[in-house]
Chain A
Amino acid sequence: MNTIEKKIIEKMQAGMPISEKPYEEIAEALNISQTQLLRTLDGMKKSGLIRRIGLVPNHYAIGYTVNLMTVWDIKDSDIDQVGVSVGALDFVSHCYQRPRHLPDWPYNFFAMVHGKSEAEANDKMQQINLLIKDSCRQFTSLKSTKILKKTGLRI
C-alpha cells in the first residue's frame, strides 16, 4: 500500500459525506484530483484492499435488535460446501471458518444472523440447520446481550 492509498483508506474509513458530489469532497480534502481518487479507489476495490463502499445501516435502529452468533461443528471434509451454501443466504451477514479449540470449543464455523425478534433470529438458525444438518455434529448460538465497544477499524 502506498502513501496515497493509505491516506484514501483512512479518509474513506472516517466516512464520506452524503451530498451531491461525495468523491469530489473527499478528493478536495486529500488535495488530489477526483480522477486520481476514483482510479485509485477502483484499483483498491479490485485488489480487495477495500471490501466495499457504501453505507452500514444501524441495524438496531431499523429494528434488527437481535444479533445471534451461530456456531457449528462441521465435518472437516464438508466445510467448504457448507460455507458456500450458508454464505449465499441473504440473512447471513458474515460467515467464517475458524479453528476449533478442543475440548472447550468444538465449533469451526461461524455465521452471524440478525432478526427483529429472538424468534425470527432462531427461525433463521433453524433454516441454516435444515440446510446443513448432514454435515453438522452440533451447533449452538450466542446471543449478544450488550455492546461494550464498537469502533471502526483504525490503521
Chain B
Amino acid sequence: MDISAQDIELLNRVQKNFPIVSDPFAEIASELGRDKSEMINRLALLEQAGFIARFGGVNNHKKMGASTLAALNVPTEKIDEISTLVNSFREVNHNYLRENAFNLWFVVTAATEGKLQEILSEIQRRSECELLDLPMVKSYHIDLAFQI
C-alpha cells in the first residue's frame, strides 16, 4: 500500500488535539474537507497496513510516578545478555541500542522514586556496567508529535 500526500495530511491532523467530542471524526472531516466515512475507512486501512503505531491517549509520565532515561556502557560481546536483563523489568518501556560508549539507552517508569532507584541499582549491580541516570529536569517540547 502506498501512502499519499492526503494520507500524510490526515495522519498529521489526527496526531494532535484529537477533538474530545462525541463525533470527533466529523470535526476533522469538515476541517480537511473530506467525507467522514471515507476518511475513517482510509484511516483504518492505514492502521491495518502498519502506518499507525497506536491510537489513543499519550500519558504524562512525570505526573504518573517517577521516570528516567538511563544508559549503560555495555561491552559489545555482552549486549544480548544485558539487554535481556534490562528488558526483563516490566518498568522498562523503551530500550534502544545506540552508537556510543554508552550504548544501551532505556526509559524506566515506576510508581515511586524509591522503586525507580531500586530498579536502577539492581540493573547496575547485575550488569556490572557503568550507569547514567538522566531524569528529565525540564521539558521544552511537551507534545511528542512531529510533522511527518
Contacts from A to B (Cβ < 8 Å): 9, 12-16, 18-24, 34, 38, 41-42, 45, 48-59, 61-62, 64, 67, 69, 79-80, 83-84, 86-87, 90-99, 101, 104-105, 108, 110, 114, 140, 142-155
Contact with A along B98-115 (1 / 0, CB 8 A): 111010111001010000
Interface majority SS (helix, strand, loop, mixed), chain B: mixed
Contacts from B to A (Cβ < 8 Å): 3, 8, 11, 14-18, 20-25, 36-37, 40, 43-44, 47, 49-61, 63-65, 69, 71, 83, 86-87, 90-100, 102, 104-106, 109, 111, 130, 132-148
Collect the chain B residues with CB atoms within 8 Å of residue A145's CB.
Answer: 97-99
Contact between chains at A57 and B53 (CB < 8 Å): yes
Collect the chain A residues with CB atoms within 8 Å of residue B36's CB.
Answer: 20
Contact between chains at A144 and B96 (CB < 8 Å): yes
Contact between chains at B52 and A57 (CB < 8 Å): yes
In this complex, the member of B54, B59, B139 whose beta carbon has the largest number of chain A beta carbons within 10 angstroms is B59
Instruction: From B23, B97, B134, give the contact of A98 (CB < 8 A).
Output: B134
A sample of 8 cross-chain residue pairs with beta-carbon separation below 8 angstroms, ordered by A number, consists of A51-B144, A53-B17, A55-B11, A55-B14, A97-B140, A101-B132, A142-B105, A148-B104
Question: Given A9-B59, A55-B11, are A93 and B145 also a contact pair (CB < 8 Å)?
Answer: yes
**Bound-state Cα–Cα, A62 to B4, Å:** 10
Instruction: From B49, B55, B87, give the contact of A54 (CB < 8 A).
Output: B55
Q: Please count the residue pairs between chain A and chain B whose beta carbons lie under 8 angstroms apart in the complex.
A: 235
Contact between chains at B63 and A49 (CB < 8 Å): yes
Collect the chain A residues with CB atoms within 8 Å of residue B65's CB.
Answer: 155
**Bound-state Cα–Cα, A41 to B15, Å:** 17
Interface majority SS (helix, strand, loop, mixed), chain A: mixed
Give me the 10 closest cross-chain CB pairs, A-B, nearest first: A12-B57, A83-B140, A87-B140, A87-B141, A149-B95, A146-B97, A142-B98, A93-B146, A148-B95, A98-B134
Measured CB to CB, the closest approach of chain A to B46, in angstroms, equals 9
Contact between chains at B20 and A42 (CB < 8 Å): yes
Instruction: From A54, A84, A155, give the contact of B14 (CB < 8 A).
Output: A54
